[in-house]
Structure formats: structure tokens, C-alpha cells
Structure 1
């Protein structure tokens, strides 16, 4: 995974205020992670499937770079202006979050036909292996995020956020660290709702793939990959709304307390992401054209 992908994924993650609760990100070489599951994590493709997939991925990457990346640069500009003018407000974060979600949904919609075609070509053994991988994923996440006591979950969540923020803002002040702790406490048992919803989604996905030759399969997969929010459990829908609201509040408060050095560090990080985008050959070709 490229260095710039990790940086952009983290930038989007922080802006979306999802912390460790989601893998949403903007990918390029690993475009398949734009959807909530990674093909290589769950499917053991044969040689023919890998060859077909790689060719499709090249086409999607070309589309992504030429049609989507210019919009990401505009998005970074708006983010930069927010920081420069000290206008990191709840409304502004809502707007940036909505724009990022729309970009992710557009890319997910673009690559969904390829995902459908690949899934329709799976044999029964591959489907069984995919379901086993889902079960393994569930056990791993339950072990990491649910087995610890609630107090430990809150502590771990705060430490993960503190580490991310240190990378983007530099060392936090004592009051900023206290605000991160308060944010983590406010999320409570969010881990429980997140993982329960993930299991709920995986079960629906497995049930759809089991009927992969049915006429309704393409529509069902598009719903699962592009319109997945419509399939959330009621408990997770409520928890997710709270997660976003709490994290917007956290970012607004942290930036209100930020020092000039912290803001300059954040601006340098944003500029670094912009430079990584601009250095891509495909984007240069678009600009020259």
C-alpha cells in the first residue's frame, strides 16, 4: 500500500470522524478497499480470475484518476481554507463529510459491476472460503474490540485517536488530551453496535452470494455495496449518528484550542497529500490534456 494512500485514508477518516470504526478511505492502487470489504482479504481467486480482476482494476484506476482525483484536490482546498481561516465549525465539517461520502459512493458505484461479475463467477468452494474468512474476521474483531472491559475499550479508543492526532497536529496539550478522553467516554459501547452491524452486513452479503445466479443478485449486491446505510441495524444507525456528532465536536474543540504550530503542521500534512496527488502521472496527463 502506497504511503500517500495511507495518508489520504487517514485524512478522510479523521474528517469523517470515524476513528478506528471504519475502513472508509480514498484508494488508488488499492481501489477495492473503497467498498467495505477487500477482495483479496476474503476471496482466494484463481489465476484466470486474478488476470481478469487486474485488467478491470486498471480500467477503474484510470477512471478514478482522471475523473475523481481533480475533485479531491478541490476538497483539499476547502479543507485547507477551513484551517487557515480558523473556520473548523460543525457545519463546515458536516459539509466536508458529506462531500467525502459522496465521492466514496460514486467510486463504489463505478466498481460494483465488476464486483458483481467476479462474484457471479465464484465456485462453491470459493464462497465457502469467503464465509470462513468472514467468520475469522468477526472473531478477530470481537477479540480486539469487545473482549476488553468497557473501561479498557474507552481507554484504547482514546489512545488510538491520540496517536492519530499527534501525527496530524503534533503533541496535544493537557486540555486537548482531556477532550480526547471525554470524546472516547461519550462513545460508550459503540464497539458493540459497530461489530454487530458488521456481522449483520456480512450475513446479508453471504446470503446474497449464495443466490449469485438469481436475477435479483446484481441489484442486491449494489444495495450492499453502494447503499449499505439502508441496511444498517437501527441500533447502529443511532450509534453512528452519535459517533459523527461526537467526533465533529471533538475536532471543533481541538482546533479552537490549537496552537499556531499545530495548525501549521496540519496545513503541511494537507499540502503533502496534495503534492502526492499532483505527482501522479495520470493526473498530470489530465492537466496537460
Structure 2
């Protein structure tokens, strides 16, 4: 259930600028994978639920495109300006990150009532299926991210980041490559805290859904979807703050060492993101109205 948040973050935060997703149009046309509709990953909906889902999804897509995307374009302008002036600072990145978090929260808040309605209509079999899928998800992530030794986790994390950076900046210099290695080492056993917190959230979500007919259910789900940070474990809260700080530091240092060619490549990528947004029919219609 956290992938919707991750993917939306990818679209409108620095992580997106580093290339975790390559085509905004593709991501946006599958916005059901961005907003909290990923229950479809964890359970099967019946015919009536699917019809209801499709109708609500269309409404939310229209709202998001006409009211939220213009703000994303402004956000891209600010990101582009930072790169053009070669003034990528920690303070500026903190500001962009805060703006992105606010946009995420606004979308989550808009979608939550529909998510609550969907969850309240689940039957016992669907809830059991969801819980089984959560358990499978945990086992899969533990196998992929925790089973390797810590040294291997650090190495693979660095390799993933370097691959993204190569796409958005072009080949890295030896100094930039070493900075990525140092970044990955600084995160240490982040995988452990991330997966533990994910399991913690899923457990709370399952407990809430088990009481889906109670008067407290809507507020509980709103907390889980909109204010999820309030439910983080203390250990993960600290690890997340470190992760954000390390990411900002990495990007500041990489841009400080960047060549004009790398910055031009990044600007071209950002412009591609802007074009993908502008090419969306719903945004064109909103501008003409």
C-alpha cells in the first residue's frame, strides 16, 4: 500500500529528477498505481467494485490533472532554475522536498474518502487475501533486500543509484562515482529499518481494516494514508531523516562537480518531463477552459 506514495513522490520530487521513472505520460496514464488504489495488488475486486473503482478513478484523474499538474509545472520551473544557475543547495533542495510533500498530502487527502469507501465494502475473503499478500510482500522484500550481506546491500544500492544518474547526467567522473559509493555506505543498514517500518505499517493497516465498520475507521485510515509519518517507528523516523539528508548532500556534491554537458543533459531530461505533462489531453483542456 505504500507504492502509491512512492510513485507520486517519484513524479514530483528530486527522486524523480534522478530518473526513477522515465516517462511522466506513462506514469500518469496509470495514476491508479500512484494514488492509494494499489489494493488491486493485494486482492481481487468483484464486478461491482471494479465498476465503482473505474468511475471514481476517472473523477480523481480529472481532479488531479486540472488542479494539481499546473503546480507540478511550477515546481519543475524552480528545479530547472536551480540547475541552470548551478545553484543547487541544501536549502533549496529542502524547499523543493517540502513542496513535494505538501502536494503528496493534498492528493492523499483528496483520495482518502474513496479509499475508505472501498475498504469498508471488502468481504472477509478479500481481507484475508490482502493480509496474505502483505505477508508475501514482506517475505519477498526480506529476501531481496535483507538476505544479502550488508556489504552487498551497500554495493547494490550504489550500483542502482549510479545507473539512474548515468541516465540523467551521463557518465560520472571518478570523483562522482566515489561520492555515490560514500553515499551508499552512509546509509548503512537502511534496508532493515525501511522493511521493518513497512511491516509495522501493514500490520496497523490490517488491524484497521479488521475493524472497518467501526466509527473510528475513517479517521484511522486517514491517519494511515495521509499522516502516515505519525505512525513511523522512532528508529525509522531517525533513519528517514538521515536518508533525506544524505540524498540532498549527494545531489549537492554531484552538481558541484558536474560538467556543463552533464547539466545540459539534466536540463533536457527535465524539459522532457515538462513536455510529457503538457502533452496530457486533460491538462490541455484545463488550460483552454
Q: Normalization by structure 2: what TM-score?
A: 0.92
Partner of 1:78: 78
Per the alignment, residue 10 of structure 2 pairs with 9
Residue 19 of structure 2 contacts residue 168 of structure 2 at CA under 8 Å; is this kept in 1? no
SS in 2 for 1:28: helix
Distance 1:167 1:17, change over 3 A: closer
Could you list the structure 1 runs, at least 4 aligned residues long, displaced by more than 2 angstroms after superposition.
6-13, 15-20, 26-37
Question: Residue 38 of structure 1: CA displacement?
Answer: 1.6
Distance in 1, Cα, partners of 2:125 & 2:54? 22
Alignment of 1:1-289 (within 5 A): 9=10, 12=13, 14=15, 28-35=28-35, 38-289=38-289
Alpha carbons 1:18, 1:243 under 8 Å: kept: no
- Higher mean C-alpha deviation, range 10-19 or range 39-48: 10-19
Q: Matched residues in 2 for 1:143 and 1:36: separation?
A: 25
| Aligned partners of 1:9 and 1:27 also within 8 Å | no
CA RMSD of aligned residues (A): 2.2
Aligned to 2:105, the other structure's residue is in SS state: helix
Matched residue count: 279
Change in Cα spacing, 1:163 to 1:10, as seen in structure 2 (3 Å) is farther
Query: Which whole-Å CA distance do the structure 1 matches of 2:248 and 2:208 have between them?
Result: 35
Deviations 1:88-146 (A, max 9, x none): 10000000001111111110110111110000000000000000000010000000000
Q: List alignment gaps of at least 5 residues for structure 1.
A: 1-5, 21-25
Contact 2:154 2:188 survives alignment (8 Å): yes
User: Is the 8 Å Cα contact of residues 34 and 104 (structure 1) preserved in structure 2?
Assistant: no
Residues 134-161 of structure 1: CA distance to partner in whole angstroms, max 9, x if unpaired?
0010000000000000000000000010
Native 8 Å contact 2:166 2:172 kept in 1: yes
**Equivalent pair of 1:187/1:246 in contact (CA under 8 Å):** yes
Residues 206 and 112 (structure 1 numbering): CA distance in 2 closer, same or farther, change over 3 Å? same
Given that residues 180 and 250 in structure 1 are in contact (C-alpha distance below 8 angstroms), is that contact kept between their aligned partners in structure 2? yes
CA contact (8 A) 2:42 2:133 kept: yes
**Residue-by-residue CA offset, 1:36-76 (whole Å, 9 max, x unaligned):** 77222112111110110010000000000000000000000
Cα distance change, pair 111–7 in 1 and its aligned pair in 2 (3 A): closer
Structure 2: give runs of 5+ residues left out of the alignment: 1-6
Contact in 1 for aligned 2:169/2:266 (Cα 8 Å): yes
Q: TM-score when scaled to structure 1? A: 0.92
Helix, strand or coil: the match of 1:214? coil
Instruction: Determine the C-alpha separation between the residues in 2 that align with 1:17 and 1:167.
Output: 8
